[in-house]
Structure 1
Amino acid sequence: MDEQFLHILGFAPTNSTNPAVRRWAAELTVAHQAELKRLIALRDRARLPTANAHAGHNMPGMMTDEEVAALQKLRGPAFDKVLRTEVKDHLAQSALVTRSVKAAGQEAGVKQLAVAIEKDRAAQTARLG
């Protein structure tokens, strides 16, 4: 989820005309890059496959390839509106996943990351207003 989310956040510097949206996207990018780094380290430590088993699937909190392509073409307020919706959906779905990991996870490092992500999602969602 984070890889795709970072991809769409990368459109903000050129597609948004609103400096506040560009700053907000940059802040989310930094936070999600750090999170992804931790997720990859945990995956590698567990010797799990690197291929994304969910690639191409239509899943809650993720955009289809067609939706990503459409977003990439939007500019200005139209882009900002769709980005806000996608951010909201991503934050909600990833918070749901982290709650599941906290409840059912076995590995301490994974559960610690889930706690951190849940806290981050709450703060990021509160910022949406």
Structure 2
Amino acid sequence: MGWVEVYPGFRHYGEFDGGVTVEIAKARRLRATQSFLGLAEEHQIYPDTPIQHFRKDHAVTSPVEVKTSSIRNARGKKVSKKMKPPQSPKLRMAMEQVREINAFMEQHSFSLEQVPQFKRVFNKGDEPSFDYDLGGRLYCIAAGTG
């Protein structure tokens, strides 16, 4: 429809110490065209105010996330992957705890774009002893809080 300009990304590989490395890379970029910005403006939507028009519905996302154990990638950085949470009464209890925290936050006012919302992230969900009883850090996921 001509509303988005796409600038392709690229990667240039090189060789170093017997291995292949990424020497330079740039991610693909997307940019709104003037026709899209004009259409949005007709509806009083501006680049700095989308949160006023499009709100994330936290009720449709899970308040609990489970990740695999961390491993080191080729560059030595620790990485883990999201996984399907193992079903357990403790999962339902962890979800209810986060929902209670979020409901409590809704009862108060903040000088932020949104009321702070939280999710709980557990790691090492792929280990046999995993049972939602260790870890589970709380992360704020609302706009304007980071």
Where is the strand percentage greater, Structure 1 or Structure 2? 2
Q: Which structure shows the higher helix fraction?
A: 1
Structure label with greater radius of gyration: 2
Q: TM-score, normalised by structure 2?
A: 0.27
What is the TM-score with the length of structure 1 in the denominator?
Answer: 0.29
